[in-house]
């Protein structure tokens, strides 16, 4: 599978430029689209799932033009929107069965087997008889993933999947995503939470105010921050100076003051130690120091 995004622009009716000349190639596997709120992620997702047309530019899916082959491409798509909500009196398994029928699975026996399989995969088998509308927030999100995947889409688009989930549900969700990522499908995950991306994505892109500011692997982004992440044990006054000068990533209170991690191009005025960057460090460093210089 291949998605080729070429010179894509979106200007809303109010004149807002939500996407500026985006060029991006996405291959099979898990792809993370990261950026702060308002960066243009949902706009790009909605164009990819054919819910909205771009102002300019085009998207090719396996060489097929999204603008000309909407029907064909829709059949390949699974979509979990940011505000996936449903009001239903259906039981959990019935809801999934309904989604399976919509995706074209006609044979009842095979369909019910598939429903059970997906209920197992997303950890909802034990609550299959429960009214789907009465599931917890995290369970609803997992049901959302199951309904998007039950038709075996070639392209799965998941918009901000972990917003509002507690840490346990977030980990569970991430595990489900890495389980399904081995297939020959494209899974695009958009998020403003760096931890959603990490090791499960082979490729990633950074969007910043409608511009594509980075495209590569998470490791390549981390490489860019190497030599620019620092740690220092500091007292109150020094910390006050530090936090006004550098973007601080974490502050942990200690007996003597604070254990502070921060990013900086270089540090000469204080006695900080260089540390190995994580993806979160790299994201902050990139957004603060590199993004608008590209």
For ligand ADP, the binding residues (CB under 6 A) are 12, 14, 16, 18, 35, 37-43
From the CB of 17, what's the least distance to ligand ADP, in Å? 8
Residues 6+ apart with CB under 8 A from 122: 142, 143, 145, 146, 176
CB-CB contact of 43 with 9 (8 Å): no
Minimum CB distance to ligand ADP smaller for 9 or for 251? 9
From the CB of 42, what's the least distance to ligand ADP, in Å? 3
Separation CA 147–CA 102 (nearest Å): 10
Give the tokens for residue 225. Answer: 């921050």
From the CB of 177, what's the least distance to ligand ADP, in Å? 19
Separation CA 26–CA 59 (nearest Å): 11
| Phi, psi torsion values for 177, nearest 5 degrees | -65, -40
Minimum CB distance to ligand ADP smaller for 43 or for 291? 43
Minimum CB distance to ligand ADP smaller for 201 or for 232? 201
Minimum CB distance to ligand ADP smaller for 14 or for 237? 14
Residue 152, SS3 per DSSP:
coil
Minimum CB distance to ligand ADP smaller for 13 or for 63? 13
Q: Could you tell me which of 66, 64, 36 has the C-alpha nearest to residue 54?
A: 66
From the CB of 172, what's the least distance to ligand ADP, in Å? 23
CB-CB contact of 227 with 281 (8 Å): no
Minimum CB distance to ligand ADP smaller for 103 or for 191? 191
Separation CA 231–CA 228 (nearest Å): 10
Minimum CB distance to ligand ADP smaller for 34 or for 100? 34
DSSP code at position 291: G
From the CB of 181, what's the least distance to ligand ADP, in Å? 22
10 Å Cβ neighbour count for 20?
16
From the CB of 254, what's the least distance to ligand ADP, in Å? 36
Distances (CA, A) of 58 to 4, 88, 135, 218: 8, 37, 39, 26
From the CB of 163, what's the least distance to ligand ADP, in Å? 10
């Amino acid at each position: 599978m291949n998605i080729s995004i070429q010179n894509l622009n979106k200007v809303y009716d109010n004149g807002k430029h939500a996407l500026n000349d985006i060029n991006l190639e996405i291959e099979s596997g898990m792809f993370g689209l990261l950026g702060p709120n308002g960066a243009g992620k949902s706009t790009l997702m909605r164009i990819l799932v054919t819910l909205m047309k771009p102002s300019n530019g085009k998207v090719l899916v396996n060489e097929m033009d999204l603008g000309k082959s909407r029907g064909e491409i829709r059949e390949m798509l699974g979509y979990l929107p940011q505000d996936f909500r449903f009001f239903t009196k259906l039981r959990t398994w019935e809801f999934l069965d309904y989604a399976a029928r919509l995706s074209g699975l006609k044979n009842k026996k095979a369909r019910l087997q598939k429903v059970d399989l997906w209920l197992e995969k997303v950890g909802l088998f034990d609550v299959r008889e429960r009214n789907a509308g009465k599931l917890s927030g995290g369970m609803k999100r997992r049901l959302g993933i199951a309904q998007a995947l039950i038709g075996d889409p070639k392209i799965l688009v998941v918009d901000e999947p972990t917003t509002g989930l507690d840490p346990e549900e977030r980990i569970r969700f991430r595990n489900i995503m890495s389980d399904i990522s081995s297939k020959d499908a494209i899974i695009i995950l958009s998020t403003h939470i760096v931890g959603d991306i990490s090791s499960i994505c082979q490729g990633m892109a950074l969007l910043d105010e409608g511009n594509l500011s980075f495209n590569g692997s998470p490791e390549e982004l981390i490489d860019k921050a190497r030599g620019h992440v620092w740690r220092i044990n500091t007292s109150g006054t020094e910390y006050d100076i530090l936090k006004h000068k550098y973007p601080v990533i974490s502050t942990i209170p200690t007996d003597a003051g604070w254990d502070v991690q921060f990013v900086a191009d270089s540090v000469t005025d204080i006695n900080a130690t260089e540390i190995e960057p994580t993806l979160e460090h790299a994201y902050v460093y990139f957004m603060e120091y590199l993004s608008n210089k590209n």
